[in-house]
Chains A and B, each alone.
Chain A
Amino acid sequence: MSACLLEGGVLVVAGPSGSGKTTLLRILARLREADSGKVLLDGRLWTEFTPVQWRRRVNYLAQKPAVFDGSVEDNLRRPFELNAVKKELQYDREKALELMERVLLSGSLLNQDARTLSGGETARMALVRALLVEPEALLLDEPLAALDRKSAGAVIELINWWAGAQTGRGLVVVSHVGEFGALPGLSVLELAGEEAGSVE
C-alpha cells in the first residue's frame, strides 16, 4: 500500500473501524513505531529527522484533543512554550482570533476556562491550536466527529483554505468517504482492515 500527499492537498484516509486509520496517523506522527514501511517528507526520509524535528513539521491532532489547564488562550499559547516552536514562531493573537472566527468560535472565548468548552468547541479550539504552529503536514483524526453540520462545514472550509494558503502544506484526514466530498486536490486512501504498509 502506498499513498502520496501533494502540496496543498488533502488525503482522506477512510475504512471500517479497526482498520488501523488512527494507528496509521500515529505512525505518521512517530508517536508509534511502524513494523515496516517508510515515510518521506519533501523527498527526505523520516529517519533523517529527529523525532522532535519531525513532529514539529508533522502535527497530529487526536480525535479527543487534549485540553491543558487554564483559559482557551493559555491552551493556544501552550505549544509556543516549547523550544522547538519558540525558536521559529511567536504566538500571534490576531491570527488566533482570525482562525477562531473562521471556525465560528467567538473571540470572547479566549478568556474562558478551556475545560468548560463543549465537545465541538474543544475540537475546533484544538484545530486552531494546531494550525497556529504552522506544521507542514497536519494529521487530523476524525475532525468532524464532534461537530454539528454548520461548524463541520466551517472546519472543512478552513482546512481547505489553510492547505492552499501557503506552499508546502498538506493534510491527512481520517474521515468517512464523502464528508470531504467536493474539495479540490483531494485524494482518498481506503484501508481494508489489513495492516498499514508504506505511505509516501
Chain B
Amino acid sequence: MNSGVIPISNLQLALSIILVIAAGAIAAGLRLGLLKPLLWGTVRTFVQLTFIGYVLKFVFTVNNLWLVFVMVVIMCFVAARASVGRTPHIPDYPAALAFWSLFTSTVLVGLIVVRVIISPDPWFSARIVIPIFGMILGNSMNGIALSLDRLYTEAYARSGEIESLLAFGATPWEAVRDCVKNAMRAGMTPTINSLMVVGLVSLPGMMTGQILGGADPHEAVRYQIVVMLMIAAAVAIGCLLLVGFSYKRLFTQDGALRLEIFKSRQ
C-alpha cells in the first residue's frame, strides 16, 4: 500500500521553511507581532513531529499491548489538560474529570472500532490503534472543551433563573437542565456540521493522507466513514460524561448554586 508514497528529502523539507520565512517577513513588515510565535511554532512543529516520528517507529516495531496502552493514557492526559485550559476558574480538578471523560469515551469507541470493525492482527496493532485513538481524542477534546465552557457560561448568565427554580423546589438537575442541553449542543455542533459537509467542502485529513499514500479512494472513503461516525459517537459520549460529572459541581451539598465560582470570571 505504501508503494505510492513519494518520499520527501531533507533538502525538500528545508525548502518548506522558505514559505514560513516569507510569511514571517510579511508579519514583521506589518508589525503584527506574529513573527516570534510563528517561528516558535515552526520550530516546535519540526521538533515535536520528528520526535513523534521516532516514538511511533519504536512503538510500531515493538508492538506491545502495554506500550500502546501507556501511549493512549498519555495522549488522553495531554488532551484533558488542553481541553480545560481554555476554561479557567473551574474548581475541583477539572482536568481529572476531563481525563476520565476522554479516556472512557475514547477507549469505548476505539475498542469497538479496532476489535469489531477494522480488526487488525493483533487487535492492538499500534499502527492502527494509535492513529485511530488520536483522531478520536483530537475531536473529543475540542467537543468537551466547548461543552464545558458553554456549561459554565450559561450557568453564569442564567444564575438568576437557576436560583429561582431552586427556590421553587427544583433539584439541581431540574434547575440546570436547559444549560446542560445547550452545553451538549455546543460540544456536538462542530461534529454534526462536519458530518453534513464532509467531502463536499474539504477532504478529511485522514482520507487525504491515505490517497497521498497511494490508497484506492474507495478504500480511503470506507475508512473515513468509520472514522467520522466513531468521532461523532466519541464526542457525544465524552460531552455527556463531562457535563454529567461537571454540573453537580455548580452546586453545594445543600443543592444551592455556588455563586463564588462565578466571581472570578468576567
Contacts and interface: CB of A to CB of B under 8 A. Distances in A.
- Which of A59, A62, A64, A66 has the most chain B CB atoms closer than 10 A to its own CB? A66
A51 interface: yes
A106 B169 CA distance: 28
B255 A51 contact: yes
Contacts of A29: 167
Instruction: Report the interface size class on chain A.
Output: 20 to 34
A94 B160 CA distance: 28
Contact of B167 (A33, A61, A83): A61
B163 A31 contact: yes
B168 A59 contact: yes
B164 to A, nearest CB: 4
Contacts of B254: 30, 33, 51
A79 interface: yes
A85 B164 contact: no
Interface string A9-37: 00000000000000000000111110000
- Which of A61, A62, A82 has the most chain B CB atoms closer than 10 A to its own CB? A82
Interface in A96-147: 133
Given A33-B254, A52-B171, A82 B165 contact: yes
Contacts of B165: 66, 78-79, 82
A51 B165 CA distance: 13
A84 interface: yes
Nearest to A69: B178
Interface of A: 29-33, 51-53, 55-56, 59-62, 64-68, 78-79, 81-85, 133
Interface of B: 160-161, 163-171, 174, 252, 254-257
11 contacts: A32-B256, A51-B256, A52-B169, A52-B255, A61-B167, A65-B160, A79-B168, A79-B169, A82-B169, A82-B171, A84-B169
